[in-house]
Amino acid sequence: MREEVRRVGLITPTPEKLCGLKGLLESMGYEVLLEQASSPAEARGAAESLASQGADIIVLPGSWIGPWEPLSRELGVPVVRGAWSPKLLAAIVERWGFKVLSSSVEAEKALGYDMARLAVEELGVLRERPPRGEAFRVGGMAVPRLPPPILVVSEVYPSTCDVDRVLGEISWRRLEGADIVAIGWDGSVDLDCYWSIVKHAIDKAQPPLAADPGRPKLALKAASLGVDVSMSITPRFVDEIPGELRDKAFVVVPEGGDRPSKELEVAYRKGLSRGLSRLILDPIAFPTPYPGLLERLMEARRLAEAHIGPIMMGANNVVELMDADTEGSLGVTVSLMAEAGVSLVLVGEVSRKARGATWEARIAADMASLSLYWEKPPKDLGLDLLLYKEKS
């Protein structure tokens, strides 16, 4: 198709939802005509009307399966499928024009490998300028107030005092896609060894770096040593964070009440009153049925709706305690967390089954981020977690 398009005809079941797309296309210099059709069965009448108005191209919803080539030939005007969302269609047209659209497949598939390039570009913009606001920065990285994007925090539990080995694992998690690497402590090494590893990591590892020693007082010590994020602070310990650590971020976890969202909200507002603006709230995800992922997602949603955040949730308790491949369980879990308003996802690689979970969580987080931003299902995004099966 030659790019000689000036007048664009759009067919849609809901014209009011295309006002934004119409404005974007008009800002690019196109004249836009709208026709309503509730289903593919009504597309012919709408297309004939647009053709009679002089449309140079007629764009159908991306989800409307053809074939549309016969109608294109009959009208003498290209009838093509757009994207699954108006926002994505605008991004595609802005970069490549209408010439890439096809009568047989939706725009996402018509782009081929360029779809992956577009995904990478958009993710870079989202990470630098979160569209729903930046809460603060850690180690130079923007922490979104709400998704998108979604940051991946990967936790390393040292099982040896070999500092170089632990630093190598930290570097590997970075290569797998972790935005933040957390050094956890589970008692496998003594505390002196743990603090030695943390100090070496602060000196040599790429920031931002988190520490999760598992106890509030130890988390305060980690912050005083210089880590960017200290984890596992409980609400009552918010009062004990000294003023000189206000430039550090802290992850606050509930102490076990029935309404963790309420507990965390009180702690968050208490921290703000003391000038502690870098608090991340973690309502803690649990597997079914203890008390269940759904219940904790609802708690996260309550925090997000109250504009309390940013919110972090760990996927470990869900995927590690489910006999299912992690790429699938992580894909669904991270997508649900994104819907709930979670902007940081914590993963670990404790069991053999979970090795590589950081990479899988990276892809899952990027898919969920693009799905939210483009307002389309997490399908044909330019990246996927299809490791063992193919799709048509």
Q: How confident is the model at residue 163 (pLDDT cuts 50, 70, 90)?
A: very high
Within 8 A by CB and 6+ apart from 365, the residues are 149, 150, 151, 152, 334, 338, 345
Nearest to 134 by CA among 126, 142, 123: 142
Kindly give the residue spans of alpha helices, DSSP state H, lying in the chain: 19-27, 43-52, 69-75, 86-96, 107-110, 114-128, 163-176, 191-204, 216-225, 260-273, 293-305, 316-319, 326-340, 357-374
- Is 166 a residue whose pLDDT tops 90? yes
Indicate the DSSP class of residue 247: T
Tell me if the pTM is above 0.85. Answer: yes
What are the distances in angstroms from CA 170 to CA 178, 179, 204, 265, 364?
Answer: 9, 11, 10, 32, 20
Q: Tell me the Cα Rg of the chain.
A: 24
Express each pLDDT in 94-149 by its tens digit.
Answer: 999 999 999 999 999 999 999 999 999 999 999 999 999 999 999 999 999 999 99
Burial level of 305, CB count in 10 A (0-12/13-18/19+)?
exposed
pLDDT at 309: 84
* 61/38 Cα distance (integer angstroms): 11
- List CB contacts of 271: < 8 A, sequence separation 6 or more: 238, 241, 250, 252, 277, 279
What is the per-residue pLDDT across 294-325, written as a single tens digit (0 to 9) for each?
999 999 999 999 998 899 999 988 998 888 88
pLDDT digits (tens, 9 = 90+) for 35-83: 999 999 999 999 999 999 999 999 999 999 988 999 999 999 999 999 9
Say what the pLDDT of residue 2 is: 46
Measured distance CA(254)–CA(264) in Å, rounded? 6
Q: Are 57 and 82 in contact (CB under 8 A)?
A: no
The answer to whether 40 and 62 are in contact (CB under 8 A) is: no
Whether pLDDT at 1 is above 70: no
Q: In the predicted model, what is the mean pLDDT of residues 335-357?
A: 94
Name the nearest CA neighbour of 63 among 349, 335, 380: 380
At 202-214, the pLDDT tens digits run 999 999 999 999 9
> For 155-171, b where at least 16 C-beta lie within 10 A, e where not — what string?
bbbbeeeebeebbebbe
> In DSSP terms, which residues pair with 183 in a beta bridge?
156, 211
pLDDT in tens, 236-287: 999 999 999 999 999 999 997 778 999 999 999 999 999 999 999 999 998 8
* Residue appearing with tokens 């219940």: 295
Residue-level pLDDT at 178 = 98
d(C-alpha 176, C-alpha 359), whole Å: 5
Contact (CB, 8 A) for 168 and 156: no
Burial 63-98, CB ≥16 within 10 A → b, else e: ebebebeebbeebebbbbbbbbbbebbbbbbeebeb
Q: What span, in angstroms and rounded, lies between the C-alpha atoms of 124 and 114?
A: 15
Q: What is the pLDDT of residue 66?
A: 84
Give the length of the chain. 392
Domains of the chain with bracketed CATH: 7-112 (3.40.50.2300), 131-374 (3.20.20.20)
For tokens 């079914």, name the residue: 288
pLDDT, residue 392, reads: 62
For residue range 188-233, what is the model confidence (pLDDT) as tens digits?
Answer: 999 999 999 999 999 999 999 999 999 999 999 999 999 999 999 9
- Using left for φ > 0, alpha for ψ between -120 and 50, and beta otherwise, residue 344 falls in beta
